[in-house]
């Protein structure tokens, strides 16, 4: 099922990302690079952080709707609206949203 469409686009587009909301109010990634802080309003460049137990897919993993049925909804998780560029479509099973947009660059616009 791991079929990647590597057609990257430079267009800026709106997307959504599920983030960890820390007790101090800062945002961070859920899994890969989870100790990092994600500031609002700044363009961030994705890093390649190999992590045991996870497939190597460098980039910011985002969705076209604020939905991720395969991830648990918890009090410490919040959806953010983002802008992305330099991204490609990555096909996923329907229960994972059908596809993700994996971006080299992302800017958090606001928390939802």
Q: Where is pLDDT greater, at 43 or 94?
A: 43
Q: Where is pLDDT greater, at 72 or 62?
A: 62
Question: What percent of the chain clears pLDDT 90, i.e. is strictly above it?
Answer: 77
Judge whether 87 and 102 are in contact, CB under 8 Å.
Answer: yes
* Residue 1 pLDDT level (bands cut at 50, 70, 90): very low
Q: What is the pTM of this model?
A: 0.88
* Residue 10 pLDDT level (bands cut at 50, 70, 90): low
Tell me: pLDDT of 85 over 70: yes
Domain boundaries, the chain: 13-111
């Amino acid at each position: 099922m791991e079929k990647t469409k590597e057609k990257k686009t430079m267009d800026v587009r709106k997307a959504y990302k599920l983030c960890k909301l820390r007790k101090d109010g800062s945002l961070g990634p859920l899994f890969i690079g989870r100790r990092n802080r994600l500031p609002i309003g700044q363009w961030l460049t994705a890093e390649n952080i190999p992590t045991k137990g996870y497939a190597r897919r460098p980039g910011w993993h985002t969705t076209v709707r604020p939905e991720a049925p395969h991830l648990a909804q918890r009090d410490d998780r919040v959806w953010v609206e983002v802008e992305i560029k330099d991204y490609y479509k990555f096909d996923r099973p329907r229960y994972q949203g059908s596809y993700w947009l994996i971006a080299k660059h992302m800017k958090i616009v606001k928390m939802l």
